[in-house]
């Protein structure tokens, strides 16, 4: 498996199917159970393979965490590319993006972010930068599209909208790490999405948003 290093997060290039499969399955295990709670023995048992097999592809747990997370981020980037090319208008696109992220957050163990920041801080920071870049790309494209379609206000400063939304998302993530959120992270994310769209939508966009949120039977 070839890899590309971006700071301390590896972006996995698919050349070894077995290594790619292990990265995918480990990413799912970390998301479900957290990172700290799983050692190499636990992972080998859950994967129905030997520790020898794991060490054939990964030098240690840090390497496994880094590359599994890199694989996960690669998959997210592929999904984003597909979404940017999908049919529908800007609000349809934003809804689909929100639903994908809501599903991912709902399935994620709350300890993942805490574990990553505490035990793998360099990986956490580089992942944060990569995620922010992805969010910005998606936001800028979506706002530009919505303005062209007349669904978003024409007086928007696109960079300011992106900066503000990213800041709100990162503050929400920080509170999730510290355990100070008043509601589950997926619920906060869903509320933030609606706040974001309502803040940038034109009157026509608001009407369309309401039809998405409260469809007539």
pTM, full prediction: 0.84
Quick one: 63 and 150 in the same domain?
no
Share of the chain above pLDDT 70, in %: 93
Quick one: 19 and 116 in the same domain?
no
Quick one: 16 and 121 in the same domain?
no
Quick one: 171 and 202 in the same domain?
yes
> Residues 98-116: what's their mean pLDDT?
87
For the chain, how many helices (H) and strands (E)? 10, 2
Quick one: 108 and 215 in the same domain?
yes
Quick one: 49 and 96 in the same domain?
no
Per-residue pLDDT tens for 14-38?
A: 458 889 999 999 999 999 999 999 9
Residue 78 covered by a domain? no
Quick one: 122 and 170 in the same domain?
yes
Quick one: 203 and 143 in the same domain?
yes
Quick one: 158 and 188 in the same domain?
yes
Task: Identify which of 191, 75, 211 has the alpha carbon closest to the alpha carbon of residue 131.
Answer: 75
Cα maximum dimension of the chain: 61
Per-residue pLDDT tens for 113-154?
A: 889 989 999 999 988 899 889 999 999 999 999 999 999 999
Kindly report the backbone phi and psi dihedral angles of residue 195, in degrees, each rounded to the nearest multiple of 5, phi listed first: -60, -45
User: Residue 182 belongs to a domain with what CATH number?
Assistant: 1.10.357
Range of the domain at 186: 86-217
- Higher-confidence residue of 11 and 121: namely 121
Q: Are strands 2-6 and 9-13 parallel, antiparallel or unpaired?
A: antiparallel
What is the distance of C-alpha 140 from the center of its chain? Answer: 17
Give the DSSP letter string of 58-93: -SSHHHHHHHHHHHHHHHHHHHHHHHHT-SS-HHHH
Rg over alpha carbons for the chain, rounded to the nearest Å, is 19
């Amino acid at each position: 498996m070839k890899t590309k290093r971006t700071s301390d997060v590896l972006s996995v290039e698919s050349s070894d199917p077995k290594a790619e499969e292990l990265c995918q399955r480990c990413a799912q295990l970390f998301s479900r159970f957290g990172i700290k709670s799983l050692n190499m023995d636990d992972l080998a048992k859950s994967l129905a393979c030997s520790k020898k097999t794991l060490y054939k592809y990964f030098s240690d747990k840090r390497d496994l965490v880094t590359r599994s997370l890199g694989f996960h981020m690669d998959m997210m980037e592929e999904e984003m590319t597909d979404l940017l090319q999908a049919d529908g208008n800007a609000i349809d696109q934003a809804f689909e993006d929100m639903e994908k992220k809501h599903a991912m957050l709902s399935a994620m163990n709350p300890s993942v972010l805490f574990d990553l920041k505490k035990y793998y801080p360099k990986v956490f920071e580089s992942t944060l930068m990569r995620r922010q870049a992805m969010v910005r790309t998606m936001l800028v494209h979506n706002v530009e599209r919505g303005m062209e379609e007349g669904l978003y206000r024409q007086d928007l400063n696109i960079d300011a909208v992106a900066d503000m939304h990213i800041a709100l998302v990162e503050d929400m993530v920080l509170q999730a790490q510290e355990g100070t959120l008043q509601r589950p992270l997926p619920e906060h994310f869903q509320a933030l999405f609606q706040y974001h769209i309502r803040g940038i939508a034109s009157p026509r966009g608001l009407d369309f948003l309401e039809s998405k949120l409260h469809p007539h039977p």
